[in-house]
A = this chain, B = another copy of it.
Amino acid sequence: MKIAVLPGDGIGKEIVAQAVRVLQALGESFEYEWADVGGAAYESAGHPLPEATLKLAMESDAVLFGAVGDWKYDKLERALRPEQAILGLRKNMGLFANFRPAICYEELVGASSLKPEIIAGLDILIVRELTGDIYFGQPRGRRASPDGAFAGADEAFDTMRYSRPEIERIAHVAFQAARKRGNKVASVDKANVLETFQFWKDVVTEVHEAHYVDVKLEHMYVDNAAMQLVKAPKNFDVVVTGNMFGDILSDEASMLTGSIGMLPSASLNDRKQGLYEPSHGSAPDIAGKGVANPLATILSAAMMLRFSLDKAEQADRIEAAVKKVLASGLRTPDIWSEGTTKVGTEAMGDAVVAALA
């Protein structure tokens, strides 16, 4: 089985290196192939997602991804900016199902800006549709405003859209995930304002009635969901929503834990091919200093084993090793607190490898 390793920018190289070490320590015979992506690829090949990198990703069973982006690329035209790489990979590989767990580890409750009783034991799964919605809808662009009070003025526009099969498949993913967890789905929409999300609500309801009446389904407006996540996040189990709302709510949910350096993510297509990356970004400010937390990437590698490589037991081993390391008191600076032991990126990788044994 072949894994494409795309470290990207910022802390990407350091954290991915540790995840690969952990994978190698499992004793499986995976094939690894490295390639540049994001700003690094723009530097080496003039494009954030070069042909060769895309080809490698498409041919692999899974992609282990670090992070992309750096202030220094802010002035580039949009098509050449690092984040286009991730959009291109999602679209070309058809990675429509994004899984973003927001889990609050017992030892890290104190890291949250929320009160311990609100956040302790949090375990939400955000299922975000990843290849549709206003992210990719056409037409989009700039033009003279065709109508309205400012007809003739410069304007910019985008198109939000979802087709029935796109909504159906992500709904199936969410309901099936819920069955393995708390059996509860909150479908987040804005049906009171948007045609797209009235349709979303209708289709999710139909899928539910036809196939998943055993799962508890609740519909919630996106503004209310943003509130309820702050007020009582533990009321959620699985949250399913579109690409744009999912972008906002999954980041909000992960920040609730206070330890985003711990949170992995997976993006899958219908062939179980997937892209695995930490939920956090490239953190250029601490890149190269050996202090980045590799655990989100290591846990993303565990998701990769489970979802794309059919190695659920190895995934369990990694997750258990990470828990053991946390329990032993080792912490990278982002999750450090009084009474625990501060370590760097590599030492954290060492500890996970040791805990696997």
Contact = CB atoms under 8 A, between A and B. Distances in A.
Contacts of A162: 155-157
B135 A193 contact: yes
Interface in A71-114: 78, 81, 83, 87, 94, 113-114
A156 B161 contact: yes
Contacts of A224: 251
A154 B160 contact: no
A226 B126 CA distance: 15
A161 B165 contact: no
Contacts of A160: 134, 157-160
A337 to B, nearest CB: 14
A247 B188 CA distance: 14
Interface residues of A, number: 68
A222 interface: yes
Given A114-B113, A192-B83, A254 B231 contact: no
A81 B113 contact: no
Given A223-B250, A230-B256, 13 more contacts: A113-B115, A114-B114, A135-B193, A142-B195, A150-B164, A154-B163, A155-B163, A155-B164, A156-B162, A156-B200, A222-B248, A231-B255, A245-B248
24 contacts: A81-B192, A83-B193, A113-B114, A113-B115, A113-B118, A114-B115, A115-B115, A134-B134, A145-B163, A153-B164, A154-B163, A155-B161, A156-B161, A156-B162, A156-B198, A157-B160, A157-B195, A158-B194, A223-B251, A226-B248, A227-B251, A227-B260, A230-B256, A248-B248
